[in-house]
């Protein structure tokens, strides 16, 4: 590829994670166009090189431009990175679709399932972009936007069945502070990225109730087997879950106050209603939607997911958080390995 012309990349949309990843691409010499439907935000990024609502402290690179015009954002890009919320992914992909060409590398970095259809994000993208799903790349791993944008060391994984596509994504995104590994298991990486948000809500809840570190570490460990069981039922490779997208992301999301899902869980534990929590956070908490999707998936695939089930009751059936946590810790006796082995 000739470096005589500036390589272009498009990022859709300009939330905290999209902006952080746009910065990574800009650091790698891409001319980056980030799309947002919010004109004020676009002007702020272009004039002040900040995106204060989502990343208060960050100063954005000058080769990162924002636009409300989807055609302008995508035309001429060799790489298009989707970072819309799981609820708006289909709509954003549909809007982008007329400007996407076969030669563009398509990556997404969204953790969640589509509400209603329970489809993974690569499926939603493949349908809307009318493209081969094996070429779509998913980016996941332990990565707070706030740290990535400050260029603190971060390691992620990019996964696609088509390893050539995964390697192209790796080349595009790897920098000195942003390390990128490849993995052929897109299903596993997507399932891990989505479900860990539920476990993080649970971790926030047990922390908010003052249960301590022992309880939280048990929750994370049991949570990992829950993720693995569902992932395997959906066709994932179990080894993926002990990697960055699984254990890695689970640790960062369950143990950090930067995690929105952890914060939401901790607020619920203090007796705030779900509506109040979401209004106070003012940002999408993916774990809430994912809890309802995973609850349904566990029934579809016949997989036992006790943490998901208790959180579902807290979020959508008004169960008292302390009662849910006690019920979770007090389940019947089991052999540890029973839970880890796939349920036949």
Report whether 197 contacts 253 (CB < 8 A): yes
- Our answer to whether residue 130 is catalytic in this structure is no
Q: How far apart are CA 189 and CA 140, in angstroms?
A: 7
Active-site hit among 95, 111, 119, 196: 196
**How many angstroms separate the Cα of 16 from the Cα of each of 22, 40, 95, 149, 252?**
10, 16, 21, 9, 17
What kind and span of H or E run contains 339?
helix 336-340
Q: How far apart are CA 290 and CA 13, in angstroms?
A: 20
Report whether 78 contacts 10 (CB < 8 A): no
Report whether 144 contacts 259 (CB < 8 A): yes
3-state helix, strand, coil in the chain (%, to 5): 55, 10, 35
Q: Which residues are catalytic?
A: 196
């Amino acid at each position: 590829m000739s470096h005589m012309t500036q390589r272009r990349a498009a990022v859709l949309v300009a939330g905290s994670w999209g902006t952080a990843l746009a910065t990574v691409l800009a650091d790698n010499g891409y001319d980056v166009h980030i799309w947002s439907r919010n004109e004020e935000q676009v002007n702020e990024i272009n004039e002040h090189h900040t995106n204060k609502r989502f990343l208060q402290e960050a100063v954005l690179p000058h080769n990162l431009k924002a636009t409300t015009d989807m055609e302008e954002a995508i035309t001429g890009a060799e790489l298009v990175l989707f970072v819309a919320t799981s609820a708006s992914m289909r709509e954003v992909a549909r809007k982008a679709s007329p400007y996407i060409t076969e030669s563009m590398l398509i990556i997404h970095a969204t953790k969640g399932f589509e509400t209603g259809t329970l489809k993974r994000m690569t499926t939603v993208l493949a349908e809307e972009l009318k493209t081969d799903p094996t070429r779509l790349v998913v980016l996941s791993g332990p990565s707070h936007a706030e740290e990535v944008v400050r260029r603190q060391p971060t390691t992620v994984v990019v996964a696609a069945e088509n390893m050539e596509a995964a390697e192209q994504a790796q080349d595009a995104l790897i920098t000195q502070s942003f390390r990128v590994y490849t993995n052929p298991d897109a299903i596993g990486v997507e399932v891990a990225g989505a479900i860990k948000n539920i476990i993080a809500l649970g971790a926030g809840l047990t922390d908010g109730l003052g249960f301590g570190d022992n309880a939280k570490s048990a929750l994370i460990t049991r949570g990992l087997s829950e993720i693995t069981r569902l992932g395997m039922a959906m066709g994932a490779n179990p080894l993926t879950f002990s990697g960055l997208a699984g254990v890695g992301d689970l640790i960062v999301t369950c143990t950090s106050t930067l995690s929105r899902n952890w914060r939401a869980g901790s607020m619920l534990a203090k007796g705030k209603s779900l509506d109040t929590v979401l209004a106070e956070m003012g940002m999408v908490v993916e774990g809430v939607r994912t809890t309802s999707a995973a609850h349904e998936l566990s029934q579809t695939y016949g997989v036992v997911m006790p943490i998901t089930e208790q959180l579902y009751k807290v979020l959508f059936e008004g169960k008292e958080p302390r009662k849910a946590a006690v019920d979770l810790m007090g389940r019947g006796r089991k052999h540890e390995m029973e839970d880890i082995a796939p349920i036949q």
